[in-house]
């Protein structure tokens, strides 16, 4: 008799295998056509490469980067609970309504809990506009990056750039005062915040305010939002 814990351990062990071979040359050939399975598997390969540092995977990802097109990358970041995912969803809705012949990819990063090692990947809970043939969404965990981004995010962006999308949105996990890594991987960065940042002097501590191209004051119906916008 295995018992409950034994059954759990056995199921976890049987599920613990790579779903993508480190040599994914076949997927690379399918990538320019926008094949969603190829996109998904190559992003997974990028995550596996972070963990395993495999030379075959490194060579394949180098080919992906060589195929990447010059398309705009929009970075959306901000404090946890500021409404980044809801804002992203609204931007996607307007994008597909105004530009129905264009394709968009969304890469959303969610924090990995240090204690359990798990990540909710809950950004898609807020997404109501992604159910379109022109929209691709992928969630990634921060894992061991110790920042608001996944260590595989640059390769994941390269995969979407090589897959024929017209724009890529990267949404980070919630950030603190000193995180501005998103500015290094995007062409246009949005910092999303609410009026609840504390005293005006706190604004001097938020590093992203110095780097963001646009600052979004979200949940502006909240009390104090007009004062916050002025400050």
pLDDT tens profile 103-153: 999 999 998 888 888 888 888 888 899 999 999 999 999 988 878 899 999
pLDDT tens profile 168-185: 999 998 887 667 889 899
DSSP state letter for 11: H
Instruction: Compute the mean pLDDT over every residue in the chain, rounded to the nearest whole number.
Output: 88
19 vs 138, more confident: 138
pLDDT tens profile 22-73: 667 888 899 999 999 999 999 998 988 887 676 778 888 999 999 999 999 9
- Whether residue 8 is predicted with pLDDT greater than 90 in this model: the reply is yes
| Confidence at residue 81, expressed as pLDDT on a 0 to 100 scale | 85
Nearest to 128 by CA among 166, 169, 90: 90
| Confidence at residue 15, expressed as pLDDT on a 0 to 100 scale | 87
DSSP state letter for 83: -
| Confidence at residue 168, expressed as pLDDT on a 0 to 100 scale | 97
| Confidence at residue 23, expressed as pLDDT on a 0 to 100 scale | 64
| Confidence at residue 204, expressed as pLDDT on a 0 to 100 scale | 84
Distances (CA, A) of 109 to 37, 106, 120, 185, 197: 20, 10, 10, 14, 23
| Confidence at residue 228, expressed as pLDDT on a 0 to 100 scale | 83
Burial per residue of 176-194, b for 16 or more beta-carbon CB atoms within 10 angstroms, e otherwise: eeebbbbbebbeebbbbbb
| Confidence at residue 177, expressed as pLDDT on a 0 to 100 scale | 62
**Given phi > 0 = left and psi -120 to 50 = alpha, else beta, which region is 212?**
beta
| Confidence at residue 60, expressed as pLDDT on a 0 to 100 scale | 86
pTM as predicted: 0.85
Instruction: Please state, in angstroms and rounded to a whole number, the distance separating the CA atoms of residues 217 and 47.
Output: 33
| Confidence at residue 93, expressed as pLDDT on a 0 to 100 scale | 95
Instruction: Give first-to-last CA distance, the chain, whole Å.
Output: 65
| Confidence at residue 178, expressed as pLDDT on a 0 to 100 scale | 63
């Amino acid at each position: 008799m295995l018992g409950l814990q034994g059954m759990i351990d056995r199921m976890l062990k049987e599920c613990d295998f790579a779903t993508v071979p480190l040599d994914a040359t076949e997927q690379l050939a399918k990538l320019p056509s926008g094949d969603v399975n190829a996109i998904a598997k190559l992003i997974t390969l990028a995550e596996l490469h972070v963990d395993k540092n495999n030379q075959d995977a490194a060579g394949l990802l180098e080919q992906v980067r060589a195929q990447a097109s010059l398309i705009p990358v929009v970075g959306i970041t901000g404090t946890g609970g500021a409404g980044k995912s809801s804002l992203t969803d609204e931007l996607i809705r307007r994008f597909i309504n105004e530009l129905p012949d264009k394709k968009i990819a969304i890469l959303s990063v969610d924090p990995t809990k240090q204690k359990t090692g798990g990540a909710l990947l809950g950004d898609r809970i807020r997404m109501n506009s992604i159910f379109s043939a022109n929209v691709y969404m992928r969630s990634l965990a921060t894992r061991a990056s110790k920042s608001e981004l996944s260590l595989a995010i640059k390769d994941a962006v390269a995969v979407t750039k090589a897959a024929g999308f017209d724009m890529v949105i990267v949404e980070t996990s919630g950030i603190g005062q000193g995180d501005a890594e998103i500015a290094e991987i995007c062409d246009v960065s949005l910092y999303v915040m609410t009026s609840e940042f504390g005293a005006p002097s706190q604004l001097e501590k938020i590093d992203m305010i110095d780097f963001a191209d646009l600052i979004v004051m979200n949940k502006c119906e909240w009390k104090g939002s007009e004062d916050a916008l002025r400050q």
